[in-house]
Each structure stands twice: as C-alpha cells, then as structure tokens.
Structure 1
C-alpha cells in the first residue's frame, strides 16, 4: 500500500509515507481486534465485553485470547474514563442567593385556565391542529439524564420581580410594577437550572401561557422563550434574542431574534392557552419551535455552543413549564427517532436524496411525523461504491476547507483520471475556485508567520464582510498582533499598541478587557513562556485563530464554517456516545437491521 500522490504534497503525507516504510506488519491478533472495534462490536469501551457470558463472546470471535486482551485493556479504559468524567462535570446554573419558597400561585391568576400539566386539552386551535396531546410523548428515560444534569426548573437572580412556584416550573411577576412596561428593557428573565451540553444531541421543553398582559391576550403576549449561550451566564436584562449570545421567539409579534438582530417573520404571535415548545438539535446545529404540537420549522442555524434555557416576560404575564416531567404536546420522541435514523444513514452514505438540515418530515396540518416510505428513499447505488465516492468528497472538501491549492488540484486531477478510466463523469464535483483558495492560503501563511497587519489588510480587501459581520474576529487578530510584538521583544511598541486597543474598548467589553489584561501580564515575566499565560504564545493558539478566521471567511462566501469531514466526525462521535450510554448492552453492536439495510 502506498500513499496517494496528492497526500505526499502535505507534511502529513510525508510523515505517513515514512512511517509506513518503517512499519512492520501487524499481527493477526491485533488486526482481528481492530476489526471488532471498527465493526462497532466492542464500542469505545471494550471492557464492557465482560458483561456478556463466555459463550456469547466465543460466538462473536474464535480468538478468545484477543477478547481477553480487549477486556483487560477495556478495564483500564473504564477507570480512565471514570476519572476523566469526574474532571468534566457539567456546570449548573445557580445564583448566590436562593429564591424564597413562594408556593404555587396558580389560583391567583386573573384568567381561569387549567394549571395542571396533565390537563392539556384536546380542543381545536386556531392553527388547525387538534388533539394536541393525542400523540404526546414523555421524554425518553434513557441514560442521558443520569450523565448530564439537564434543566428541571427555572431559577432567577436575587431580588428579581419574577416569582417561581414551589417546583420552579411556573413563572410570573411577584408584584405589579409601578409603571406599565413599555419597552424590551422592562422584560425580566429566568434561566434553566443547568447547562444543556452538546452531547445530549436534542433537548426540548414546552411552556403554556397562563396569563397575558397584551390587549389581544388570546392571540398575543409579551412572553419570549429560547436559549442563551452557556458561556454568557451573566444576568440578561432584555428579552431572549435581543442580547448577544441569545435566541428567542416572541409572542408579541411572532418573530424570532438572535444576537440583537431580527432574523425573520417566523410565525403568528401566540397567546393564552397556547403551548409553545423550544428545542435544540445539536446534530445539525439548529434551534426549532413548536406551537400546540405542530413543528414550526428551523428558526436558527449554526448553533455551536452549549446552551441555557431562558424565558422572558413583562409585567402581568405568567407561564407554566414542562421540562419533561409530563407528556409533551409535540411528539418529540418521533422527532428524535427520525434524527437518529438520519444520522445512522449518513454514516453509511445512505442519506435521503432531499436531505437538508431542517427537513424533519412533518404534516403541516396535524404536526405528525410522516411515515411515507417515499420520504425516506435511499440511494440505489451499491453501498461500497457509495461509501467510496462519499469518502472522496469528504477528502476534497477538507482540502478545500484548509485552502490547500496544490493539493486540491492534484487530488482533483487524480480522481478525474480514475473516473475516465472506468467511464464515470462529473464525480469530482464543482470546479476549484483557485483564486479564492490562494487568497485564503496566503492569509493563513501570514498568520503563521506572525504578519498580522498583512493578514488583516488582505482579509479586509478581499472579504470585507468578515469584519463587518463579526467585530470580535478583528479584535482577536489585533490581540495576536500584540502577542507577536511581545514574542519579538518589541516591548515599547507592544505597550503603545496595547493601550490603543484598550482605549477602543467600551466598559461593557469585560471579556475582551480581561483577555487584553492576560496578554499584558506576559510583560511582567522574564520568561513569559513559563508563566501561567504562556499558552498565549503557543503555536496551537495561532492555529486556532487560523481556523477561526478561515471559518468566518467561508461563512461570508455562503459556505459552512466547518468542513464536511469535521461535521461527519462529530455526528459519528455523537452516535457512538449515544450507543455506549444506552442501558441495553446489545446496542453496542451496530447491525444492518439497525441501519435499515436488508
């Protein structure tokens, strides 16, 4: 086996070739062990094989000594995994002062509606849906809840005018404000009591509007719900979506907002008795909403961070929440099952022909999942050929993502020649935009060489929208310039440039000021690389910045910020993690039946 010519143009390819020339053949036992792991039989924790009886182990493989080795090694892996899990505890959202026990305030509301979470009625709603609880499903009682402390109630900041019921699920104002709420600044917010980790795959919750201050309270209300980025745990003073790092669906106008920007006219406003659901799908990085059991479609895309549930309201509004303690109005289990099937299909390159990020098949009138076989048509190409061509597409897209001009050309030429030999055309994909690739590669080279002014200037000239849409990336580049000056021992110039950066920041930019102070701290050490801030000088930080800027450039060109290969890897990781966390040990074995293959 030899390394393909296009790979030899990379440092990785050269090292791989050298490694292969010096590498001896693996023993048959090691090969067999690798095959078992790759097939999904052993999962990522081979030690769990010990949970099966000896007869079952012998049935899977005749190499008993290999499995014994796997069990021993797996036992060590389990201990290491346990130790690592203790170091990676998901942060809970809490405040220094607990709210007083306000008890249940259901009977105090001015509008008489059902307060029992199980009393979601089957009346017909204005959007045409009926029997909203007919297909309702409880949140799955899998292992996710045990490993990740998902939200179970709301919490508020000290002295907040919002009152919580004893179980933390009902929210309303504890007292009436002296002046009527006029603007979004008067909105008060509560947050979920735990961070929603990316590993959970899909998270969903629902609220029911109990009271509304709007004059047209049956159709609209001053209530908004959504998420905020987990890294921004400071109190929010505006409705979700009207501050950076937040996403919200507003009942007053039916619009969705993100990062203080109106995204689009999403749906009709919602009011009293409406059941509004909010969910995040980390597998395709989207946020969606439901109304009275009907899926409303994707509201936001490119959601990359762990989130915190958040609810906002003005005076005289009240809501009841369901974090999964009772039946949901929307069939979330059906949604999750379909997401799981799509993930498995993607792994084997059997994704549907109309596969899109937000293409969960819904019936617009009933809100039910489609069971039409035509909606899940699979490619008819031979599975092995499909995997082969998909792998080539992944490799090509990754080289394009990195901006490797020569490698892209060599790879495209090689696969084109192979296709001509077997009579296949148009498999290589779209023509390579050499000019854009060269510019991106030049910007990357500037960053690696520490030529920050040149990198900023070229980016601004060729991709001006990058800095216009996201000013934070420009600040990061300027900080890297400051670090580069410190690396080159240009202390006076570094101090002068750092002061100019600091002067341009507002008092609200606390995170940026803290980062700038960390960089300045390097000047206090004779050998900055040995200080606690020495990591700022590392090449790894430069590469992170390269990838960050490259992602923003790709986004400005209408592409995704991460490579297709990276997305597939994350999807596979999420699926494997889900399988290994299942309470059913047989789920460690990925069979053809699981993938819908006869």
Structure 2
C-alpha cells in the first residue's frame, strides 16, 4: 500500500502548475466563467482504506479575487475540469461560501469561509465512511455519507481563478489539527463496539470470546472456554506454578474447567499436576511431573547445558531424538559443539586478562581457534570466509576436517596458571567433540544437515564468536539457544499428540490475520482493532 504524498504531474488540469516538490498548486489559465469550468488535480495514489483514517491539510497561499477553492476527495474517473463535489463520487468543501458539496449543484451550509493564510484540513474515516474538515486546527464536524465505500478515492483540490494557489501537507510537517487524538477517539469507539457486541451461544461454546464487557456478560458459561485456553497456554509454556494457582482459583469458584470429552463424576483435584494434562489433550502414560520435566529440558538448552537436555530428552522423550532421522539429536549435538567452543573462548579471554594483570607472557600465535586446530588445506579459506572473511565459504564438502595436531603448541612456560590449563582442556574437549560429530554425520547428505554443519563449524575460525557479528554471532548467541529450545519444546509436545503451538496463540494469530485481511478488503474499522496494543503492550 502506498499513501498519497504529492499532487500528480500527469493527473491534473493543464491550467494548474505543480511545484517541483509536488506540494503546491497554482492556477495559471484563464479564469472560469461558468459553473461547468474549473481546474482540479489529484494525487498519484488513492487512499488505502486499511489506514482507517486519512488526513491532510491545505494552506491557502492565495485565494485570488473570489476564493473559489474546493478541497476534498474524488474518484479516479471524475473529470479534472470540475471542482471536487460537483460530480458523482466527489466531495468538496468550498472556500467562497463555506458550503459542502457531494454531487450536487447548490451545496449545503457546512462551515466558515476560508481564504489566504487559512489552513484547511480534510480527512476521511473509513470506519464510518464519513469525511470531516478542520479550519486552522479546529474540528468542523463530520460530513457526507458513504465516502469511498464503492470506489477508491484520491485527495483532490480544485481552483477556478487566476492567482489562486495552495500548498498541501501530507504529513511532511506537523499538522495544525491534533489528528492523533482524533484517531484515538475513533479507535476507542471501534473497540467499545467490539467489546459490547453480544456473542451467540454456539460461539461461546466453541470459541473464546474477548475479555471485558462481552466476557462479563456471558457469565461462567462464557468464561469456562477462556479459562481452558489460558490454562492450556500456561501448561504449554511450562508455567506450572502459575497454572496450578490459576486452576485452583477457578475450581474454588466452582467453575468446571474440564473439557467435555474428559468430564467424569469426580471433581477435579487441585493438588496434582495430572489435571493440567487434560487441558492439552495428553493421553494416558504421561509422567505426573511432565510440565516440570519439559521445562527443565527447555531451560537447559536456554542455559547452554546441552548434556542435561540430551540426557533428559533421551530418558523421557526418546521419540523426539528419533524422528526425522534424528534431526533434533543432530541439532542438539551441534549446539553442544558451539557451547564447547564458547567455553574455550571465554577461558582464553580470562587468560588474557590475567596476562594483562601481570601474569606470564603469552606466546604469539594466530587469532582464533585455528591456533589450536589444523584445518585441511583448501578448506581453511572456507572457514575464514564464514561470516565475512576472504573466502567464499564453499569447499565442495559441508564438513570441515579437524586434525588432532596444533600449529602452535601451548607451553606452561609461556602460559602459566590454572587458566592456561583450563583453556587447554576446554580446547581439547572441543576438538575431540568436533571430530566425533564430523565422523558421525559425514555421510549424511541431507541439505538441512549440511547447512547446519557449515554454519556450526564456521564458528571454529573466530577467537570470540559472540563478538564476531554476522552469521557467526547469530549461530553462537543466546537467540540461537532460545530458538532451539522452542523447537525442542514443540517437538516434545508433538510427540505426545499435542499441537506445536497453544490454542490461545493460534486463535490470536488467526484473529490478527483476519483483521489484516478485513482491512485490505476495505473494512476501515479493522485499522482500529489493534490486537498487539490491546493484548500485548505492557503499557495498555
């Protein structure tokens, strides 16, 4: 979608000249002698209805002798020899008499006259399909009906006499009128209408309604499905304590949260975690502390403790490591290799800090991990080229062979102290683990595996991967941990027959997508149903 930002050089009456910046219009032709003659111009692009409210202001640089200036809107098929408001699908506010025109000959009294030095604002509210005007920052009221409801409309201005000139402001500079406050009022009206819309019984039964007035009007019958969705969301993301507290609160209120398919004659206990499972469709055989187990696994990945995540997943959710030919197992192992490299990098930085503080001198060597690893000839450029080096990063093989030898040996006579010993140990562990990882997957030709392999081993070439920037920092950083943890959580849930995303989240996304489509289809009120602001912004 493109917003109007200037008067068109092509779509204008020849009697009008347009300034170089596209903001000024000047009448240069012979003055019109009758009501059928005028000179109009419009913008290059129509106003997108999805913007909700569109507003622009016009400064009258000169009204000429009579001030026959019309400001408003026009459809693309309106004649350029007519003032806005004289033809069908055009609307205008005229400065010589203060009348409003909507495809009419005589017009309707509307506002004050305007002339040289005045600033006239013109807006359209697509939630009501009404126009409104301002004069020198003062609101004059809504006017016209069905503006832009059947055809795209353009900002349009018409002039009739020599000496008339205007300058437009499409947001190039601050407006005289407080348009932000006007938009906020329109948004509040739209949101109040949404909240007060009565919901059908079948909708209440099958789908969650919004919170607030509408939800309160439904009573416990309406809140039940919402509470199920909230409890499912908390369980999905591992908020066990909050889920138990939430469940206990509503059971104490005698609200039945059990899904219809799970109902029994026995009341739900509030002191066990097994009841939480019923809200996500978990079947029999679920571990009674499944939420805690899953949360511990996920948090282990986020904290970089990949061994714990691997061991716990293998023990409680082995199918996760087996599905897709062990793809998640491969990803976790690659992450462990990165964690080992990060550990070695941190120890090396510590060793340098101790050196700077007066410890023994450090022997000169290459920067980066390649001072402790030997990369095969022909592939070293590929490693160094990863993330912005000189090479292309392509070697014909996705694996980067690592030899168990060093180009520069590390001697305790050069690097002394516990930090040096720890660094040597961490570096050796990383080398050995990288060799084993490469050996185990060297025959795996899957493109996804090859791509992950290349990105993972690209970290080898950098002394401090987190400070390297680009793809290397992206692979090694905290966001990569979180992304992997989220994927693992989804895989565990799917292995238990549960959705990868909680129902509440999917409902939110679906509603947001529907609102966007409504806006694109011309429902102007959709612009004011701001879901992120209403449901996600902490300031709301």
| TM-score, normalized by the shorter chain, greater than 0.5 | no
When normalised by structure 1's length, the TM-score is 0.35
**Bigger Rg, structure 1 or 2:** 2
User: Structure 2 length as normaliser, TM-score?
Assistant: 0.38
